[in-house]
Structure 1
Amino acid sequence: MRLGPPDPNHLTAEQKRVHDIIASGPRGRVRGPLAIWLHRPELAEAAQALGAYCRYGSSLDPKLSELAILCMACVWQAEFEWWAHKPIALKAGLAPEIVEALKAGERPSFADREEAVVHDVVFALSRERRIPDELYAKGTDVLGAERLVDLVGLCGYYTLISMTLNAFDVSLPDGETYELTTR
């Protein structure tokens, strides 16, 4: 890890305030990129608010949100993100074979149209930097405009997450296995 979280015994008053906001929310703790952002508590506070919306307040159901998050982890090869969200995705009902296909770098075979659209939108945005017209039409048809907006917002937030994880080389907890890359 290039930059660890600030020492919990030496947080500034602002760092402590933001730490406590994050820890008392639905996440229940401060780790990964949120801990890194505490070096700039203003960033941590703003980003965690966006993240709380993307994870817990969006119009996407948890299974679709977690699928999108795992897709973003694959795009960015963000191991911590994958490690943190894989069990959440499985618990939310994402099929294990979808998770395994993503891990292998393959496009899963989807029985669910919503899952297929979420996957395709995430990868189109990440690779092509836009949503092609045909996919956009399919996305608005299958997800509707509101959920498509939330999906794009989630992609933006998890780009920030992934960049932070990769820039500061955030490691997995001791004893955990890297699944997307070899280290």
Structure 2
Amino acid sequence: MSRLPLVGPKGLDAEQKAFWEYIVTGPRGASLREPLTSLPGPFNPWMQIPSFGRVAAEMGERLRFRSVLPGKLRELAILTTGVHWKAEFEFWAHARAARAEGLPDSVIEALQAGTAIPYEDDLQRLIHTAAKELVETGRPRTDLVEQLANALGWPAVVELVALVGFYCMVSFTLNAFDVALPDGVAPIWNR
């Protein structure tokens, strides 16, 4: 159960209403379950400061929907971040997105279980290792950054760092306010 009140579509001030509409009519809207009584994930907490919520949602939209990283690699980095922080909602939501991007269930299940990842290729290994080093130490090794830059280009490396940082913030929001999983979805980790 969330530590914050769930903010529904009624009784919103003008700024909250604009943020609500931005979320439900934007690219995330198609995946929202109806009837919508509150915004899922980090969006309900962000309704407390809708101007921040809008900026954060726009950054997330840029990182997810206009990424320079291929979808499978992007979602692998997001899942790696969610696993590190044991952010239940994030892992649940992005496991679905990862499957839609073609990341194999074997990789998703290994991340969830904390077992060896059966990478499909070296790029997956590089992305996972870099994301893991970022969440654990705040910086990936220099040789790893150079390998990523050689394989994907510097824009992808910069975006990977921003992506992991952004999803750390999302994980903190989800965990700090005990954002609930959808009804009928069982938790993954015992915290």
Q: Which runs of 4+ in 1 moved over 3 A?
A: none
Match of 1:22 in 2: 23
Q: Which of 92, 100, 114 lines up with 2:109 in the alignment?
A: 100
After TM superposition, the score normalised by the length of structure 2 is 0.90
CA–CA separation in structure 1 for the residues paired with 2:73 and 2:141: 20
Q: Deviations over 1:63-114 (max 9, x none)?
A: 1111111111101100000111112211211111111111111241323121
Out of 87-96 and 70-79, give the one that drifted further: 87-96
Structure 1 gap segments, 5+ residues each:
none
TM-aligned CA deviation for residue 47 of structure 1: 0.3
TM-score using structure 1 length = 0.94
The CA distance in 1 between the partners of 2:116 and 2:127, in whole Å, is 12
Equivalent residues in 2 for 1:16-55 (5 A)?
Answer: 16-28=17-29, 29=32, 30-55=39-64
- Aligned partner of 1:125 among 106, 118, 134: 134
The answer to whether the Cα contact below 8 Å between 2:88 and 2:187 also exists between their aligned partners in 1 is yes
Q: Which residue number in structure 1 is paired with residue 3 of structure 2?
A: 2
- Aligned residues: percent identity? 39
Query: RMSD of aligned C-alpha atoms?
Result: 1.3
CA–CA distance in structure 2, aligned partners of residues 136 and 174 of structure 1: 40
Q: How many residues align?
A: 182
**Per-residue deviation, 1:7:** 3.3
One-letter identity of the residue aligned with 2:120 = A
Over residues 131-171 of structure 1, what are the superposed CA-to-partner deviations in whole Å (9 max), with x where a residue is unaligned?
11111111111221111111111111101110000000001
Letter in 1 for 2:106: E
Once the two structures are overlaid, the 10-residue window that deviates more, 96-105 or 29-38, is 29-38
> CA separation in 2, counterparts of 1:75 and 1:140?
24
